[in-house]
Amino acid sequence: MALSSVLTPFSLGTVVGSIATGRVPVGNAAGSVITSWLNVPSVLIGVVAVAFSGYLAAVYLAADSVRGTDPGLTRAFRARALVAGVVSGAVALAGLLVMRHSGLNLTSGLALVMVAVSAVAGLATVALCWRSRFQLARLSAALAVAAVVAGWAAAQAPRMLPGLTVTQAAAGRSTLIALVIAVACGGVVLIPSLALLYTLFLRGRLDAPESAPATGAERVAAGGPDPHAPDTAPGPRTGGTARTTSTGGTVRTTSTAGRASRAWATVAVVGLLAGAGLLVFTDPVWLHGLGVAFFLACAVSTFRLAHDRDGR
Amino acid sequence: MDSEQHYLFEARQIQALSLSVHIPLVCFGIAFPVLVLFAEWRYLRTGDDLYRVLAKRWSRIMLALFAVGVVTGTILSFELGVLWPQWIADFGNVFGLGFTLEGFSFFVEAIFIGIYAYGWERLPPRFHFACGIPVAIAGVAGSFFVISVNAWMNHPSGFTLRDGRAVDVHPWQALFANPLFFSEYIHMYFAAYIVCGFLMAGAYAWAFLRGRRGRYERTALSVSLGAASVAAPLQVVVGDWAARDVATYQPVKLAAMEGLATSTRGAAEHVLGWYNGHAVVWGVEIPRLLSLLAYHNPNATVQGLDVVPLGDQPPVNVVRLAFQTMVGIGTLLAVIGLVYLFLRLRPATRSRALPRWLLWAVLAAGPLSVVALIAGWITTEVGRQPWIVYDVMRVSSAVTGAGGIPVGYGTLSVVYVLLAVIVWAILRRLARVPLPDQFASAASGGAEGVIADGLCSRRVHPGRDGGLHAAGRGRLRRWPVDAAGGRPGRAQDQGRGQARDGTGVGGQPRLADLRARRVLDRIPGGIRVDRLDPGHPADGRGGRHHLPRRRLRAARPGHVTNR
């Protein structure tokens, strides 16, 4: 576990280093498979990536550990965040100097601004961790790392690979528009989902002990059914008239249930015949779509009829 | 244009291996959330705790398989770029949209599967159920987007070719206005229910055969086998639709599937046999059936392999064998499904136990359905050869020029073997989590009820060091009971010597004997054994030499049942 957690950012960093220092030529496997990423600057960037990961993890875990009950944990993560912050800053500084001699100048123009932002944010993070202000430290730590990545992009622009600019490498306009639409739609779905996840997680909704489930009152309040007490005999409730009930191994079906079953059976047969007819004997795509819908109706109703609800 | 790659065949094998490992997991991604949600929905409707237990246990399996699918899917997505860089370079602008959208559905699936799996009893029930719905939708959507790319590779459109590259691209049209796409996707969608359903059902059929026929096992079998059984017969019709689309859009693939050397009017169908380069030999010939199936006309002309030069033809026997395997197994699965539905829907047999031969058939159907799934994908992927983008780009033009493919192949094979071992271990572990007591099944008759003192007869051996051991499959799990004191010398001897079960269960001390010799008195009151032994020799079937291991664990104070 620990090994892969180190290897992943290290490998990513070496690849970034090899691209940033222009060691990946254009073409199908035109560069060296080994030496393009296994060299001093690339390995150094790999180390930077590992240091950054450790640093972010320490700061974030320190912030998380505050929710826990163990102050020792917070102290431990605070110490690690401070050490990792100092180490990351030092390694990043070394990386800056080495990269300057390897073809990527981060000390001029927009890149320099980004490096300065990163330096300030990094120092601020150390200061905030020192004063145990972890929530703010999270933001400044993330900013420090993001600024370095932005600085890399600024220093390398407009080159993507040697002899290939970003504009040349980009797909055509229609593809890019499609991707922007896709990302926008994806974001509309993803961002609320992430917000929900973090809300549940950060409010500790997902780390309540499982042995203390929602009480019956809470379940009822939430609209859920009252669970069986553990000592009552297992078996489904026989509330509605449309439910099949079992008595001593024999099945008694109320007339409502019988009528419901007949309705489901009708749906199943109609779905099967109509679906098969549409899929086999027609050609237009939309009729095939209708056929699939009939098949799904048939599948659902057959499944419902066949499912043994009392678990006999 | 062809790069110097001596290991093209190995590169293809790597890709095939990775796809074969990943695709069964995709089936669980599509179908399993729906089955889990069905179980939870039944719980919400009826308040029957059994369904909650079922959904909860299945959601653990769902999460484990999702995690494995993340690993294999990540390997796969890297392979597309690493093994076929020229394909991505020249056509990524056409199909990249599909993978972008798939990425989003993957994220949504990951977020909600986490909430769902960890939210049991921590979230309000209905809210928890609602969190499962995006998992089911994302499973369907993810496979939808990926298969849209595969369908595009089989029937490329939506771009203009200039100097071997795609320009003037219409990505939406290319992916989603592709007539071949829908049959391919629906075919895979039904296959997902067949594979997931039969594999799950196989596990419970095995439990049935070993005598565990409790309400939990019966319900689990009913849900999983029911889903597979309704999907399998319908798949026959969907498959027919897919084959007709192949006949229309990829006639050479169809010719390879059927071993049709030359274009023929009123072509015959051959079952089994071998393609010798000119015709199918040793097969059973059914006149005009191929024309009838492909074009609904017994006199229709079916294009043969000769419409393209030999260099553009796929390897016929591989494709044909894979296709026949898929059709053969698919037919068998449809029959199994129909038999099950017949027994379930007919009032006379509805409440009767399923016959043993059907349980054996269901047990076999699980692995067979995976074979059929892989065979189907071999049919469509090898049937497209030598093209990676049908009629546009050859696989040999797309492959990487880098060396080291055999090394990657070997490494990846080891990784997959390790992964398989891990999956097996996880699933066994999940299966062994004891059921809540009220659902724990006894042996077939259910006669061996809960033993009053809450102890089970599961291989409780008097141990050497004043402790008791619960052992399974040769391994001993030591359980010190120092509090009880004293060396159980006498009980030890008797336990090993005389107090053995008569039938089936080798070397196990009989619970009654242990109790008679007061061995069990040494067990402190706070410790109990979860679940009753379902394999009591009174089972009568006598086939159980190995019993699943159960944990000995301390009961929480005040709790008699342990969920």
Residues A269 and A159 in one domain: no
Q: What percent of chain A has a predicted confidence (pLDDT) above 70?
A: 82
Does the beta carbon of A34 lie under 8 angstroms from any beta carbon of chain B?
Answer: no
Assess A285–B contact: CB distance below 8 Å, yes or no. yes
Question: What is the predicted ipTM?
Answer: 0.79
Do A160 and A258 lie in a common domain? no
State the maximum Cα–Cα separation within chain B, in Å, rounded to a whole number: 90
- Domain membership of residue A275 as a residue range: 253-312
Whether B202 and B427 have beta carbons less than 8 Å apart is answered as no
Angstrom CA distances, B262 to B255, B294, B299, B387, stand at: 9, 16, 15, 21
Instruction: Determine the Cα–Cα distance for residues B534 and B451; give it in Å rounded to an integer.
Output: 12
Q: B215 vs chain A: nearest CA distance in angstroms?
A: 5
| CB proximity under 8 Å: A 232-271 to B | 233-237, 239, 243, 249-251
DSSP structure class, residue A26:
S
> If residue A115 lies in a helix (H) or strand (E), which one and from where to where?
helix A109-130
| B contacts of A15 (beta carbons < 8 Å) | none
Nearest by CB to A222, which of B85, B125, B340? B125
What is the number of CB-based contacts under 8 A between chain A and chain B?
212
Contact of A292 with chain B, judged by CB distance below 8 Å, is answered with yes
CB burial of A28-46 (b: ≥16 within 10 Å; e: otherwise) equals: bbebeeeebbebebbbbbb
**Secondary structure of residue B388 in the 3-state scheme:** strand
Q: Which residue has the higher pLDDT, B404 or A217?
A: B404
Q: Nearest 10 degrees: CA dihedral of B373, B378, B380, B386?
A: 170
- Residues A309, A160, single domain; the answer is no
Closest by Cβ to B169, choosing from A174, A236, A311: A174
Look at residue B301 in the predicted model and tell me its pLDDT: 87
CA distances from A179 to B96, B158, B202 (A): 8, 16, 43
Structural domain ending residue among the three candidates A165, A193, A222: A165
Cis-peptide, bond into residue A158, ω within 30° of zero: yes
Looking at the fold, whether A148 and A264 belong to one and the same domain comes out as: no
Query: Across the interface, do B118 and A206 touch by the CB < 8 Å criterion?
Result: yes
In this structure, the answer to whether residues A126 and A18 fall within a common structural domain is yes
Which residue in the set A172, A224, A250 is minimally distant from B93, CB to CB? A172
Closest partner CB to B111 (pick from A193, A214, A249): A193
pLDDT at A305: 85
Rounded to whole angstroms, how far apart are CA atoms A121 and A52? 13
Residue B513: per-residue pLDDT: 52
Domain ranges of chain B: 8-263+303-432, 460-554
Chain B residues in contact with A29 (beta carbon < 8 A):
3, 85, 400-402
Averaged over A152-170, what is the pLDDT? 84
Cβ–Cβ < 8 Å for B145, B101: yes
Are A12 and A142 contained in the same domain?
Answer: yes
Domain boundary among A165, A198, A214: A165
Number of independent structural domains in chain A? 2
Question: In chain A, how long is the greatest CA-to-CA distance?
Answer: 86
pTM of the model: 0.79
For residues A161 and A261, membership in a common domain is answered with: no
Do the domain assignments include residue A108?
yes
Residues A51 and A152 in one domain: yes
Please, what are the averages of pLDDT over each run of 10 residues along chain B (563 residues)? Answer: 73 92 94 94 88 91 93 92 89 90 93 90 88 93 93 89 83 88 93 95 92 86 92 92 90 90 85 84 84 85 88 90 94 94 85 88 94 95 91 88 87 94 92 79 37 31 38 40 39 38 41 53 45 42 45 46 39
Beta-carbon separation of A211 and B126 below 8 A: no
Q: Look at residue A214 in the predicted model and tell me its pLDDT.
A: 43
Asked if B344 lies within 8 A of A172 by C-beta distance, the reply is no
A202 in contact with B, Cβ within 8 Å: no
Helices B8-46, B215-249: inter-axial angle, 10-degree rounding: 130
Q: Which pLDDT belongs to residue A164?
A: 84
Q: Which residue of A has its CA nearest to B354?
A: A312
Nearest residue of B to residue A262, measured between CA atoms: B345
